[in-house]
A and B are shown apart, each in its own frame.
Chain A
Amino acid sequence: MDPKVTLETQIEDLVQKFPEAVGFLTRKGIRCIRCGEPLWCTLGELLKEEGISQSQSVVDEMNEFLK
């Protein structure tokens, strides 16, 4: 089965479809909503900005969490 979330997923879509992903990321020190609004970028772009080198493993872990 295809993963629910990919590096190309827009944060706006992520937050709307999988709100529990917000807490998952925040607990890793990555905030994808600010002032109550989702960021305008993909998950991959956000992880890169946050200096996460193993971004695919974060996505895999997130998909496990969202199951």
Chain B
Amino acid sequence: MELILSLGIGVLAGSGVWLILRPRTFQVIVGLSLLSYAVNLFIIAMGRLRTGAAPILAGREVGDPAHFADPLPQALVLTAIVISFATTALFLVVLLASRGLTGTDHVDGREPEQ
């Protein structure tokens, strides 16, 4: 499980960084999305990996916190998802505006000279 998760984070982050460094705005936005997925998984991993554990105390009895998943990273990741979703949507609008104003999808607003 740890191996799969860390491989997943690594692949997502690696592809994200590669795409961010590309010159087309669409590649950049996909790269940012992949990076934010990697970061979200990373936040979850920082709460220690547990399978099948409830995030909060279940039932009426006072349980041992060791049996439960840490709820805080899950709350953090929820906030992070919402924020990155909103900023990605905003970036899409800017991307379209840039495409419309400059007629190219290069991040510099003009094609490099050959």
Is the A/B pair a real complex?
A: no
